[in-house]
Chains A and B, each alone.
Chain A
Amino acid sequence: MSLSETLDAPADEIAPAASKPLLSVNQLTRVYGSRIGCADVSFDLWPGEVLAIVGESGSGKTTLLNCISSRMTPTCGTVHYRMRDGASADIYKMAEAERRYLMRTDWGFVHQNPIDGLRMTVSAGANVGERLMAVGNRHYGNIRNTAIEWLSRVEIGEDRVDDQPRTFSGGMRQRLQIARNLVTEPRLVFMDEPTGGLDVSVQARLLDLLRGLVSDLGLAVVVVTHDLAVARLLSDRMIVMKEGRVIEAGLTDRVLDDPRAPYTQLLVSSILQV
């Protein structure tokens, strides 16, 4: 950015990769019968950017997350993703094989409940190594070493590599789930209430870790949370949802410090004490 400012040239020509969104969501709608899950949602996500989707339960934020992460087919609207070769692809027009490949290489998905995202009956090492094996890595020693390295990045000791996650605490499981997602160095990670079921002190430590990983790896993240403190700590930009629609969007600090929509004002004043 500073480069383009100093040169005073159109951003497109100088840094084409960073100047085009990684993910483009356009007029996305999902209805359940006559009830609205989410309606008419549009936004762009840029490489390395963290976007928080906040709202009360039932506001449609999880539906939105599932629709943009290809876990639930939207009723209408499009989701375009910029592939590593620079081409933009509509994820719902891809073949299923291609989409699933994308999901286990270039994308990650962190579930609120780690049980949903882990294999509880295989070791931590295999949990982290699974994605590597899925993309064709066939060297046991290398897979194991990479797993150990990633476990240490999420502060899990090497001595736990052969233990099953069922012997792990809630916070450790969540960190293991994160390592399992990041091992293929994805460019985009979806997170659904990643600190949801954890104690306050464990939450704080996990958020700290996440913040470090996101900036080290330059990850783009879409994080769904009802906790404005999480949005404040992790995100650059945020979207506020109510009854399936976007009420307000903007830079996180701006939205939290100077909320414009009455609903956001209510939300911020009633909850936010960061």
Chain B
Amino acid sequence: MYVAVKGGEAAIANAHRLLAARRRGDANVPGLTLEQIAGQLSLAVDRVMGEGSLYDPELAALAIKQARGDLIEAVFLLRAYRTTLPRFGHSEPMDTGRMVVERRISAIYKDLPGGQLLGPTFDYTHRLLDPELAGDAPVDAPETGEDANERVVRVSDILGDEGLIEDDPLADASRPVADITRTPTEYPMDRDARLQTLARGDEGFLLALAYSTQRGYARSHPFVGEIRIGEVDVEVMIPELGFTVAIGRVKLTECQMVNQFQGSAKAPPQFTRGYGLVFGHAERKAMAMSLCDRALRASELGEDIVAPAQDEEFVLSHCDNVQATGFVEHLKLPHYVDFQAELDLVRRMRAEHFEAATKAADETAATDDTMEAAE
């Protein structure tokens, strides 16, 4: 006989037990350590820190391990932890001009103060699978050189000194910087909130949008002014002391995109900016972010909004992969109450449809009969 479905609790417990076993994999193979993940899958860790918006390589590594390598799930784990942390304050604006750079390239100057520094990049590698990596062959120690002690000037500052690029839009100092984790989303969104949203947006989504701008959907004629990756001090103002104190360093990737100039009667022609800044080593994400930022400045720069990448509500309300995955996956939840309502409606409408069709057929038949009779 029919028994109402019961035992949700036991089913969930069993499912989670199976998940734990699957996550561990073959018990004869040693388990991964967090050091291994943080050290050898560091780009995955960086992505999870960036989109999880929490700078903590150890927790990010734990999240990746717990998520069985599903990075969006790992981002989700990290976010759900981050949100419970009390907020003590905020840092001073970080000066990326004083970054200790590991990589620094510019596509618009052949050489420049501080030089081009390739750093650890996949660029110019041939993408040939390396069978040696299947083992654990020793690798050569990296080449090192003398620190030239030269200040690595930001390319945008070089352009800015000549007035060739617009000034960074001036922030109103009297207004607190937005915090999208502490205030509700409201549109139109100011640039601070927008950049925060993009910084933790999904890399794949932003990459696709950035790509679309290059293919003519809001083309902005971009040049990579500069990409720099390296460590920057985090300084916090301690009110009791009255001065700032460095509390640590974080690794950042910054991308300054230099875009098509525009001018107006008031302002002479100059290049415009698109900006990307992400935790860790995340070059693709920073570049995509800077292209999207530039596209989203359309209304500010008086450009027509014609493409998806320029549409603020479209981009910003859909770029968060934790939100997106949750809502897409919620379709798995039972919907039978609503479905019952729809089922009832469709049945009724079908009945009405067939009733009407039958009636129409009868009428036609009747007309035919009449005609025959008349004949």
- Give the interface of A toward B (CB within 8 A): 33-35
Q: Which residue of chain A lies nearest to B264 when distances are taken between CB atoms in the complex?
A: A33
Q: Which residue of chain A lies nearest to B267 when distances are taken between CB atoms in the complex?
A: A33
Contacts of B266 in A (CB 8 A): 33-34
Residue-wise, chain B 253-264 has the 8 Å CB interface mask toward A (1 for contact) of 000000000001
Q: Does B3 contact A (CB under 8 A)?
A: no
Q: Does B371 contact A (CB under 8 A)?
A: no
In whole angstroms, how far apart are the Cα atoms of A34 and B264 in the complex?
9
Interface of B, helix, strand, loop or mixed by DSSP: loop
Q: Does B341 contact A (CB under 8 A)?
A: no
Contacts of A34 in B (CB 8 A): 265-266
A114 to B: closest C-beta gap in Å: 20
A128 to B: closest C-beta gap in Å: 25
Q: Which 5 A-B pairs have the closest CB atoms?
A: A34-B265, A33-B265, A33-B264, A33-B266, A35-B265
Contacts of B264 in A (CB 8 A): 33
Listed by A's residue number, 6 A-B pairs whose Cβ atoms lie within 8 Å are: A33-B264, A33-B265, A33-B266, A34-B265, A34-B266, A35-B265
A263 to B: closest C-beta gap in Å: 25
Q: Which residue of chain A lies nearest to B265 when distances are taken between CB atoms in the complex?
A: A34
Residue-wise, chain B 262-299 has the 8 Å CB interface mask toward A (1 for contact) of 00111000000000000000000000000000000000
B270 to A: closest C-beta gap in Å: 16
In whole angstroms, how far apart are the Cα atoms of A33 and B267 in the complex?
11
Q: Which residue of chain A lies nearest to B266 when distances are taken between CB atoms in the complex?
A: A33
Contacts of A35 in B (CB 8 A): 265
Contacts of A33 in B (CB 8 A): 264-266
- Give the interface of B toward A (CB within 8 A): 264-266
B320 to A: closest C-beta gap in Å: 29
In whole angstroms, how far apart are the Cα atoms of A259 and B265 in the complex?
35
Contacts of B265 in A (CB 8 A): 33-35
Q: Which residue of chain B lies nearest to A34 when distances are taken between CB atoms in the complex?
A: B265
In whole angstroms, how far apart are the Cα atoms of A35 and B264 in the complex?
10
Q: Which residue of chain B lies nearest to A35 when distances are taken between CB atoms in the complex?
A: B265
A33 to B: closest C-beta gap in Å: 5
In whole angstroms, how far apart are the Cα atoms of A34 and B265 in the complex?
7
A20 to B: closest C-beta gap in Å: 40
A19 to B: closest C-beta gap in Å: 45
B264 to A: closest C-beta gap in Å: 6
A36 to B: closest C-beta gap in Å: 11
In whole angstroms, how far apart are the Cα atoms of A143 and B265 in the complex?
52
A227 to B: closest C-beta gap in Å: 26
B353 to A: closest C-beta gap in Å: 16
A75 to B: closest C-beta gap in Å: 15
In whole angstroms, how far apart are the Cα atoms of A35 and B266 in the complex?
10
B242 to A: closest C-beta gap in Å: 45
In whole angstroms, how far apart are the Cα atoms of A104 and B266 in the complex?
38
A30 to B: closest C-beta gap in Å: 16
B355 to A: closest C-beta gap in Å: 19
B268 to A: closest C-beta gap in Å: 14
B299 to A: closest C-beta gap in Å: 15
In whole angstroms, how far apart are the Cα atoms of A254 and B222 in the complex?
56
In whole angstroms, how far apart are the Cα atoms of A33 and B302 in the complex?
11
B306 to A: closest C-beta gap in Å: 15
A161 to B: closest C-beta gap in Å: 18
In whole angstroms, how far apart are the Cα atoms of A87 and B266 in the complex?
42
B302 to A: closest C-beta gap in Å: 9
A116 to B: closest C-beta gap in Å: 15
In whole angstroms, how far apart are the Cα atoms of A224 and B266 in the complex?
31
B51 to A: closest C-beta gap in Å: 36
A39 to B: closest C-beta gap in Å: 16
In whole angstroms, how far apart are the Cα atoms of A34 and B266 in the complex?
8
In whole angstroms, how far apart are the Cα atoms of A162 and B266 in the complex?
52
In whole angstroms, how far apart are the Cα atoms of A264 and B266 in the complex?
33
A31 to B: closest C-beta gap in Å: 11
In whole angstroms, how far apart are the Cα atoms of A33 and B264 in the complex?
8
B248 to A: closest C-beta gap in Å: 47
A63 to B: closest C-beta gap in Å: 16
In whole angstroms, how far apart are the Cα atoms of A34 and B263 in the complex?
13
A234 to B: closest C-beta gap in Å: 31
A23 to B: closest C-beta gap in Å: 30
In whole angstroms, how far apart are the Cα atoms of A35 and B265 in the complex?
8
In whole angstroms, how far apart are the Cα atoms of A130 and B264 in the complex?
42
In whole angstroms, how far apart are the Cα atoms of A37 and B265 in the complex?
14
In whole angstroms, how far apart are the Cα atoms of A62 and B266 in the complex?
24
In whole angstroms, how far apart are the Cα atoms of A41 and B264 in the complex?
26
